[in-house]
Amino acid sequence: MKKLFSLAISFTFVVSIPLDLFAQRGERKGPKPPPFASFTPKQSTETAFGPAFAYTDGEMTLVEWSMIAEKQNFGFNLQRLGEKGWETVNDSFVGGSGLIQGSEIVVGEKYNLLDENGTIGSVYRVESTSTSGSRLFSEPFTSVQVSNLSGFSGFQSAERSRTARLSSANNTTAAPSLPKEVVAEVEANALAPNPDGHRWVVSQPGVRIGVRKDGFYRVTRSELESAGFDVNSDPSLWHLYLEGNQQAIIVEPAGQYIEFYGRGLDTPESDNRGYFLVVGPSEGKRMATRVARPDTSTVRARNYQHRFVFKERINYVNSIRNGDTENFFGRPILTTLTATVPFNLSAIDNESPTANISIRIQGFSAGLHSVTVTLNGQSVGTVSGAGQLNVVQTFTVPTTWLQQGPNSLLLAAVAPNPDTNLFDTLTVEYARKHVIEGGKIDFYTLGNRGATLTGLSSSNVRLIDTTFEGEPIEVIGLNPTESSGSFSVPIPAARPKTYHAFEPSQLLSVADLRPMISDSIGTPENSAQMIIIAHPTLLTEAGQWAADRQANGISPRVVDVNDIYDEFAYGVRGANAVKSFLQYAYSHWSLPPEYVLLMGDSSYDSRNYTGAGNWNMVPTKIVTTIFSETGSDEALADFNNDGLSDIAIGRIPARTPVRVLNTLEKMQRWEGNLNDPLSRGAVFAFDEPNGYDFEAMSARLRSRLPASMPTTFVGKPQVNSLVNLVSALNTGPYVVNYAGHGTAGAWSGSPVWFSVFNVSCTNGATQCVANTNSESLYLMLTCLNGYFVQTTSDSLAETLLFLEDRGAVASWASTGETTADVQEIMGQRFYQKVSEGSIPRIGDLIKDAKSTIPGGTDVRLSWALFGDPTMRVR
């Protein structure tokens, strides 16, 4: 619930993925040398460093540090002692607790990064900067040699982060800034999505082809065959579609390859656009050619308007409540910490007098913001804002202020302290010469003006007219000329047009190919009492789960989540596709589903900006609540926007088949032992009375259960409370209820009471969950125990669910922050119905309990079931 203590939320930057206090993805291997300075553990309610370590294999150094506590900590810099004193190692700030939890206290976070220049004996210290700009330093510590860094769990996440940083060019785009007459020509030939055409496409066997950026693509016969396409069919019948519209393509006569012009995608959830290749009933649309007319124009364009865009996406902040806009931003800008944004420009026409630069800034701290902008040493102006507004300011500058190649943008916060901001996006619009860079160029021509492409490495260049969407035309018969080893190509005057020119080396390969197997889930003939939506890697296990439900009287249907994207979102991944499918099934299937089980993990980092992995396996819906944005499975099946799912919904947030099968075995054991379940008793655990009387709340909840039901109350303030709590849990009670403050990985705040360490029996925990083969149902009336969208760690609810043959058979917990009074209303209703025994399945119990909350949309949306909604509890 909303409170001053939070724990185990991941803070992710491109150069560093902190290791959550309760990370369960991997265990440390290798030596654990002492830090340079001695460290004595202690409790803290202010920012305080824990131990820090550095390991080197002689090529690079892995640095890890932990925090006893953080309060309003914006983030860190790592410093190495050099000849000139302390030098900052990292090129981007390492985000701290203040980015997500603001002023709340966060306990026990761990962080890491790689120093590629570190050696044996390098001396380090870590600098912490608060949201107000004050600084705190760790004690110095020295690196020690190890044989191999790859055995360290910290190395894996740090290396992924480094990889993400090195691929940050994916957030850079460069394209023509089209003038009105060209826009008019392009818009006149634009294609709207064709849902009817797409329905036919997805009913056919074929392949989905993924494209991440604009350009000209080739897919070979062997690639198509490997993806399951019928390459022995007549190549003249091959059709390529985008959003239901057939695209003109090139097909090698013998079917050895296809070529097409593809367009990239940029949404908060995906950068992968879906094209579909099928065998059609008639000859497919083919790309036309046009012979270049003689270049007789005396009027030539010396440049074209070009737009360079750099979006930095390294910092996730869920406390900025901005709706469907993504919550990843760039480097921080503080009163005491400037931000330098490097970028590169090419082929600047300095004879054009002015250029425009636009700076987009995300406010973070309360109050007014004032960020000065300096471009290559020239003062440009000030971007002003307030609070957590996202603001953009455009400045006109002399073109001569831009530099060929490397440029530097300096951003400084100058409003009264604290003035805390995050860099978002830089846009530069300038006149660019028609010079090919990196073997390709996108440009436009104006009516009756020719142009000349320069900078080619050979005479071999291809020119594609992209003006008509879906019907590109290859221009042939070009007349390149050579001068001093460089080639140029004249572009004759014509109507306003857009072009893509490229050398053979820039013929692109697609991002991915996969079979498109028609499942026809978008037709009313379907029926199922239960839908299991599974990630492709878990389909076998989903089939086993469905067989178990069938044997228990439930009619199931397993659906590949990729089929949902293909049929309901034109092949693009996203939560809205899942919601659209569920709404269709609920409204149109002959037997509408009553239950849905999501099989696979989900993540706030759908684009893998952090490099932690593509773990948005079955997307959840990111929703805005009073305190933050968080994941909501409930929203996927909420069709009237009342915060209540119209279909009972649950999730098995697993990444591996083993975890799915272990969870299924636990449910089977539970359902086989329901003769007199209430006799197993209940455990009511409660927190200190900080802001709410949780002991009294627990008593009121207990009163809804039969008086004869054995019950154990354990409160944190009691003597030996942890020992007594774990002892009670290990008796295998029917239900475990916790009421109090909480975090993603623990019950209570500072100090933590019960955590995932007590579940996994790691990190020195001596009081461990051991209710072997006697799993319990866990209800967690607290905050964040179900925050399952983290990339590098499991929440407490997940950890209990995935504990083999122990822990929880199912967990019901919150992904966000809410208040105890509303939670109690929901809890009382739940236990009342459990006592009555009139609602036998957990999903229906939850729907009923949530329906009693007056105006409690946040609680409805944020409480998630980690388990099967068809599981019987009575």
Q: What is the enclosing helix (H) or strand (E) of 31?
A: none
- In this structure, the number of other CB atoms found within 10 A of the CB of residue 269 comes to 20
How confident is the model over 395-405, as a mean pLDDT?
Answer: 98
Tell whether domain 5-169 is in CATH 3.40.50.880: no
pLDDT of 24: 31
Question: Does the pLDDT of residue 294 top 70, yes or no?
Answer: yes
How confident is the model over 130-149, as a mean pLDDT?
Answer: 89
Pick from 10-19, 616-625, 824-833: least confident: 10-19
Q: How would residue 148 be classed by pLDDT, with cut points 50, 70 and 90?
A: confident
Question: Does the pLDDT of residue 211 top 80, yes or no?
Answer: yes
Closest to 124 measured CA to CA, from 61, 178, 186: 61
CA gap 127, 63 in Å, rounded: 13
pLDDT of 150: 74
- Fill in the DSSP letter of residue 532: E
Place of tokens 């989900």: 602
3 state SS of 871: coil
Q: Could you write out the DSSP letters of every residue in 151-213?
A: G-HHHHHHHHHHHHHHTGGGGEEEEE---HHHHHHHHHT-----HHHHHHHTTS-EEEEEE-S
The average confidence (pLDDT) of the chain is 90
- In this structure, the number of other CB atoms found within 10 A of the CB of residue 47 comes to 22
User: What b/e readout covers 715-733, taking b as 16+ CB neighbours within 10 angstroms?
Assistant: bbeeeebbebbbebbbebb
**pLDDT of 557-581, one tens digit each?**
999 999 999 999 999 999 999 999 9
Question: Does the pLDDT of residue 18 top 80, yes or no?
Answer: no
State percent of the chain over pLDDT 70. Answer: 91
Measure the N-to-C terminal CA separation of the chain; round to a whole number of Å.
29
Question: Does the pLDDT of residue 370 top 70, yes or no?
Answer: yes
**pLDDT of 800-839, one tens digit each?**
999 999 999 999 999 999 999 999 999 999 999 999 999 9
CA gap 859, 786 in Å, rounded: 12
How confident is the model over 535-539, as a mean pLDDT?
Answer: 98
Which residues of the chain form CATH 2.60.120.260? 304-432
CA gap 713, 725 in Å, rounded: 9
Which residues of the chain form CATH 2.60.40.10? 5-169
CA gap 492, 613 in Å, rounded: 48
Q: How would residue 25 be classed by pLDDT, with cut points 50, 70 and 90?
A: very low
Q: What is the enclosing helix (H) or strand (E) of 99?
A: helix 98-101
Question: Does the pLDDT of residue 591 top 50, yes or no?
Answer: yes
User: Is the model more confident about 743 or about 508?
Assistant: 508
**pLDDT of 718-769, one tens digit each?**
999 999 999 999 999 999 999 999 988 889 876 789 998 899 998 788 999 9
Q: What is the strand order of the sheet 486-491 is part of?
A: 451-456, 486-491, 481-483
pLDDT of 170: 52
Is the sign of the CA dihedral 6, 9, 12, 15 positive or negative? positive
How confident is the model over 536-545, as a mean pLDDT?
Answer: 98
pLDDT of 830: 98
CATH top class, domain 520-637: alpha beta
pLDDT of 79: 96
Place of tokens 């367009």: 263
- In this structure, the number of other CB atoms found within 10 A of the CB of residue 34 comes to 12
CA gap 797, 255 in Å, rounded: 52
Is the sign of the CA dihedral 718, 722, 727, 729 positive or negative? positive
Amino acid in position 550: Q
Question: Does the pLDDT of residue 15 top 80, yes or no?
Answer: no
Q: How would residue 103 be classed by pLDDT, with cut points 50, 70 and 90?
A: low
Residue 607, token pair as written in the block? 């684009």
How many residues make up the chain in this entry?
874
Question: Does the pLDDT of residue 144 top 80, yes or no?
Answer: yes
pLDDT of 486: 92
- Vertex 264 angle, CA 261 and 267, to 5°: 160
Instruction: Please give the C-alpha separations between residue 240 and each of 563, 674, 762, in angstroms, as whole numbers.
Output: 18, 55, 53
CA gap 738, 753 in Å, rounded: 12
pLDDT of 9: 30
Instruction: Please give the C-alpha separations between residue 431 and each of 194, 308, 428, 453, 743, in angstroms, as whole numbers.
Output: 37, 11, 10, 15, 52
Question: Does the pLDDT of residue 38 top 70, yes or no?
Answer: no
User: Is the model more confident about 8 or about 850?
Assistant: 850
Tell whether domain 304-432 is in CATH 3.30.360.10: no
Residue pair 322/509 in contact (Cβ under 8 Å)? The answer is no
pLDDT of 670: 98
Fold of 674-866: Rossmann fold (3.40.50)
pLDDT of 494: 86
Q: How would residue 282 be classed by pLDDT, with cut points 50, 70 and 90?
A: very high
Q: How would residue 105 be classed by pLDDT, with cut points 50, 70 and 90?
A: low
Amino acid in position 573: R
Which residues of the chain form CATH 3.40.50.1460? 674-866
How confident is the model over 388-409, as a mean pLDDT?
Answer: 98
Q: What count of Cα atoms within 13 Å lies in the side-chain half-sphere of residue 700?
A: 15
Question: Does the pLDDT of residue 524 top 60, yes or no?
Answer: yes
pLDDT of 101: 62
Question: Does the pLDDT of residue 683 top 90, yes or no?
Answer: yes
